[in-house]
Amino acid sequence: MAISGLQVINIGLQNESTGSDSLYTAFNKTKDNFGTLANTASPFNTFTGNGVSITSDPGTGTVNIDNTGVTSIEITSASLTVVDGTVTTTGTITVDLPANVTITGQLLLSSSENLTTGSAVNLAVTASYFSTSGASTATLGAGTTGQIKTFMMLADGGDMVITVTNAGWQSSGTGTITFDNIGDGCTLQYITSKWFCIGNNGAIFA
């Protein structure tokens, strides 16, 4: 790494003053150079990271930071801006926002599953859709506070009955949602340890 501002100490031939610095000048330049080096040196000599591998090359003065699987990101700024890119995770991202969120484009909740009879609803995706060829059943387990789940019937060959744990439309215990026509659908949200219906088109709650 090149350091600017260093002074050149002129050394001539032995016992020759021409082209040489005096001892006073040479020592002052030496003192100034050490001061420049001290002010330019990085105060950091240890680098650590979560999910990264860090190596350094003293020859080039570079520090290489390689992502080996970032497990968490902490943002202390009041805003996060993503330009021309996506934020992708295979787990859960928790974002605690200090104020309202304004979305100028599209908000896409694209995760979904084809729910088959006898299955447990996948809580890791937002939408569960199904086509029945006879009487069908499924189960919905407890969610996470604030979680949104949507259900929709694509084809009706028989009723789909989903048994819901912690149903908000019951005083306690489980409830059911029945879909008996193509196009039936509903949206649930998990609040205070219960699933509540916040939107419905044709589904029957019991």
Is 4 a domain residue?
no
* pLDDT given at position 8: 73
Walk along the chain (206 residues) and give the pLDDT tens digit of each residue.
556 777 776 666 655 667 777 777 888 888 888 888 777 776 666 777 777 788 888 777 788 888 776 666 666 666 666 666 666 666 666 666 666 777 778 888 889 999 999 999 999 999 999 999 999 999 999 999 999 999 999 999 999 999 999 999 999 999 999 999 999 999 999 999 999 999 999 999 99
Contact 157, 132 (CB under 8 A): yes
* pLDDT given at position 162: 98
Is 157 a domain residue?
yes
- Domain with 192, as residue range(s), is 112-205
As a whole number of Å, the CA-based R_g of the chain is: 33
Is 78 a domain residue?
no
Is 155 a domain residue?
yes
The DSSP line for the chain is: ---TTPPPPP--STT--TT---HHHHHHHHHHHHHHHHHHS-S------SSEEEEEETTTTEEEEEES--------SS-----S-----SS------SS----SS------EEE--TTEEP-TTSSEEEEE-SSSEEEEE----TT-EEEEEEEE-SS-EEEEETTBTTSSSS-EEEEE-STT-EEEEEEETTEEEEEEEEB-EE-
* pLDDT given at position 58: 74
Is 74 a domain residue?
no
Contact 144, 126 (CB under 8 A): no
Contact 164, 179 (CB under 8 A): no
The CATH code of the domain that includes 170 is: 2.60.120
Long-range contacts of 194-203 (CB under 8 A, 24+ apart): 194/166, 194/167, 194/168, 195/140, 195/143, 195/149, 195/164, 195/165, 195/166, 195/167, 195/168, 196/168, 196/169, 197/168, 197/169, 203/151, 203/177, 203/178, 203/179
* pLDDT given at position 24: 78
* pLDDT given at position 100: 72
With the CA atoms of 20, 26, 28 and 33 taken in that order, what torsion angle do they form, in degrees rounded to the nearest 10?
A: 110
Number of domains in the chain: 1
Is 15 a domain residue?
no
Contact 164, 204 (CB under 8 A): no
* pLDDT given at position 120: 98
